[in-house]
Structure 1
Amino acid sequence: MQTIEINSKKISRMLYQWLLLTVELKTGEKFIYRLLETGTFAAFIDAPDKDKFYRNNIESNKEFKRIQLFG
């Protein structure tokens, strides 16, 4: 499992393993995304504006299954 601390306005940190992307927002909300390909994660890491990439390519992508975690 990879844990990545993100320097962004919205995202606190991310965890990635086996096409599952866990996103922890600074508001405390946590979401799991089931990705279709590993390239999405690599593109996120290489993106200059991670907040914009998350909003446009992950959060709004209807092909990714999104599950909210409580706790």
Structure 2
Amino acid sequence: MQIIEMNSHKISRVLYQWLLLTVELKTGEKFIYRLLEASTFAEFIDSADKDKFYRSHIEANKKFKRIQIFG
């Protein structure tokens, strides 16, 4: 499992393991995304603006199954 702390406006950290991407927002909300390919995670980490990439490529992508975690 990879845990990466983020320096972004909205995202606190991300966890990644076996095509499951967990995004923890600074508001405390957590979402799990079932990704289709591992390259999406690498593109997310390498992107210059992670907030924009998250909104446009992950959150808005209807192919990725999104589950909210309450805790």
TM-score, normalized by the shorter chain, greater than 0.5: yes
- Equivalent residue letter for 2:40: T
Q: For the residues of structure 2 that align with 1:39 and 1:13, how far apart are their CA atoms?
A: 18
Which ranges in structure 1 are unaligned for 5 or more consecutive residues?
Answer: none
Cα distance in 1 for residues equivalent to 2:14 and 2:69: 14
TM-score (norm 1): 0.99
Could you tell me which residue of structure 2 aligns to residue 38 of structure 1?
38
Cross-structure match for 2:54: 54
What CA distance in whole angstroms lies between the structure 1 residues aligned with 2:2 and 2:46?
15
Partner of 2:22: 22
Structure 2 unmatched ranges of 5 or more = none
Task: Count residues in correspondence.
Answer: 71
User: Within 2, Cα distance between the matches of 1:12 and 1:22?
Assistant: 11
Deviation at 1:39, TM superposition (A): 0.4
The two structures, once aligned, show a CA RMSD in angstroms of 0.2
SS state at 1:15 partner: strand
Tell me the SS of whatever aligns to 2:21: strand
Q: Could you list the structure 1 runs, at least 4 aligned residues long, displaced by more than 2 angstroms after superposition.
A: none
